[in-house]
A = this chain, B = another copy of it.
Amino acid sequence: MTNLHLPHGYRFSGVHCGIRPGDTQRRDVALFVSDVPASAAGVFTQNRVCAAPVRVSRERVPASDLRGIVACSGNANACTGDQGMIDARHMAALSAEIVGCRPEQFLVASTGVIGRVLPMPRVEEGIRKAARELGPSAVAFAHAAHAILTTDTRTKISTRRVRIGKDEVTVAGVAKGAAMIGPNMATMLSFLLSDAAVSPDDLQKVLGRAVNQTFNCISVEGHTSTNDTVLLLANGTGPPLKGDALTKFGHSAMEVCSELARAIAEDAEGATHLIRIEVEGLRTDAEARQVAKTIADSALVKTAIFGADPNWGRIVSAAGYSGVSFEEEQLSLWIGDLLLYDHGTPQPFDAAAASAFIKASRDIVMTLKFTLGQGRCTYWTCDLGYEYVRLNADYTT
């Protein structure tokens, strides 16, 4: 908890209310409250099937006068029909009532099992309890970070403090894991809080850019969830940041998102290797991302890394079916520092040594260099092993 910087004018809490059947301990309701109205921005899942809290929150951002976020874990409130919408709105309304603001000034998020109605009496009790425990301390922040977790093995917190002009500005964020983290979990949540003064429109742009280069560049098995939600509040009361000051703020938000996204990929369920895919030399960044995502989603690539198998043919062939147009002579591939495929020609290499290198490395870097332009992308994923199958084969029964 060293170097943890918290923004001014916020209080936090994370408490247990028992959303998971039979669970008597885990924190599962979190509150993040700004003392004054804040600008707010949000980015949400693109799944057509989206959870009730996503529908509710999406309509409320960007906005200039938000006061807080209420979140629960253990139940996604997704595929829950009309009752789900009533419950999501009620979570926001009850939080707002206790804090003393209008219902529309609260955002709401959930994560957990799909298709089950929330146990609302418990959730209400949890929200009241969380409101009583609100505080500005690092411990309160850590409790809130804990309360949004599902099968994550650790909390994910990142903060940045930067000097902008004569002021210090802080961005603090929490997250919970993505995709592979979850048997039916749905799925990634991240909340960022800042004491900067930023207009809602600028805040939305800052967040959109940051998410695009961070949370949208991680994948575990490519299964887009129903609940993905990233929210950013900024409660500074001075004149809104502009120009270089806004850029500097955006850079801090990007750094926080990047650190949280990497932490999610590292903590994916059952993962034994973190895989970084560097793609460069395509016509556009979008093409580079498309190639990287196709490789990241390939079960054949991921099982090969799990087995420490330097099976480069799977990587090259995944690039080949990504939908991006290229000739084999325009591609070279490295695993770590080892050149395996040079402008379309396979290179001799010591397979046993390469396998030993993969086995010994927690972090694996695959680099694909094309000769078609300046487009590039960095993408994160993890390997796929027995533990992923075990964790995902029998969750709900």
Contact = CB atoms under 8 A, between A and B. Distances in A.
A334 interface: no
Given A79-B313, A346-B79, A48 B320 contact: yes
Nearest to A303: B392
A299 B221 contact: yes
Given A48-B325, A184-B314, A309-B397, A81 B303 contact: no
- Copies of this chain in its oligomeric complex: 2
B48 A351 contact: no
B223 A47 contact: no
A303 B224 contact: no
Given A115-B313, A184-B314, A386-B386, A394 B321 contact: no
A319 interface: yes
Nearest to A221: B299
Q: How large is the interface on A (under 10, 10 to 19, 20 to 34, 35 or more residues)?
A: 35 or more
A1 interface: no
A299 B115 contact: no
Given A389-B385, A392-B300, A47 B308 contact: no
A114 B317 contact: yes
A46 B323 CA distance: 9
A394 B48 contact: no
A392 B313 CA distance: 13
A321, A325, A390, A395: residue with the most chain B Cβ atoms closer than 10 Å: A321
Given A299-B384, A303-B392, A309-B397, 11 more contacts: A47-B317, A48-B321, A81-B345, A114-B316, A183-B311, A184-B313, A186-B313, A222-B298, A222-B299, A223-B318, A299-B299
Smallest CB-CB A-B distances: 3 pairs: A307-B393, A114-B313, A49-B320
